[in-house]
Amino acid sequence: MYKLAIIGSGNGSNFEAIVKWFQDKGVEITCLSDAEDAFILKRAENLGIKHQFLPFEQNFEYFSKNEFDLVVLAGYMKILPENVLKAMGKVINIHPSLLPAFKGKGAIKKAFLAGVKVSGVTVHYVDFNIDAGKIIAQYPVFIDNSMHLDEFEAEIHEIEHRLYPIVIEKVLEDKVFDFQDLMKSVCSKKKEGGGCGGCGQH
């Protein structure tokens, strides 16, 4: 059984998408947050997932004592120092832009206000440079002239929720992420409503 730690500071919508994806797939998930009142912890409670408040200063001690196959950052808003990253082992993050563009906080709004016509989502390994580890997967979101910020934001989150769980599964299994996997998952969803989603497999 794989052991997965998901660590976030806020809302936890990615956490919830990941939990739903791994339901009945034999993955043990632990939810951690550096913010005691973060909604991610409430979601974990509601979903019956082991969870705890983990103050930033206790990260090193916690991850030195608790081993995981993979640590997943999902809206974790603090910068992790080198010793903590080493103790964590393999760490990945999701960022709401096409890195290396729009690093740091507020990336969705920054991209929108900059007037770019394409932004998107990046899943990457975390190393000692901020938002700059090796890219595992990216997915574009196009911004047409009539698109509002809230529509753009909603589309970014929808892509995040579809992309992150599949990439996590591949990383856990030590397999290469392939866009066919994403297409198939979209396709099977569409098939329930009738018709192929265009994955080329039917």
What's the min distance (Å) between Cβ of 105 and ligand GAR? 6
Q: Does 165 bind ligand GAR (CB under 6 A)?
A: no
Q: What is the smallest separation between the CB atom of 73 and ligand GAR, expressed in angstroms?
A: 7
Q: Pick between residue 42 and residue 86 the one whose CB is nearest to ligand GAR.
A: 42
Q: How far apart are CA 78 and CA 81, in angstroms?
A: 9
- Reported in sequence order, the residue ranges of the chain that DSSP labels E, i.e. its strands, are 2-8, 27-33, 50-53, 70-73, 91-95, 118-125, 135-142
Contacts of 97 (CB under 8 A, 6+ apart): 103, 107, 108, 110, 111, 119, 120, 121, 122
How far from the centroid of its chain's Cα atoms is residue 56's Cα?
20
Question: What character string, x for contact with ligand GAR (CB under 6 A) and - otherwise, covers 5-44?
Answer: ---x-xxxxxx-----------------------------
- Closest to ligand GAR by CB, 13 vs 119, is 13
# binding residues, ligand GAR (CB under 6 A): 14
- Residues of this chain, 54-113, that bind ligand GAR according to CB under 6 A: 74-75, 94-96, 107
**Mask of contacts with ligand GAR, 103-142, x by CB under 6 A?**
----x-----------------------------------
| CA 13/CA 24 separation, integer angstroms | 19
Residues engaged in binding ligand GAR (CB under 6 A): 8, 10-15, 74-75, 94-96, 107, 160
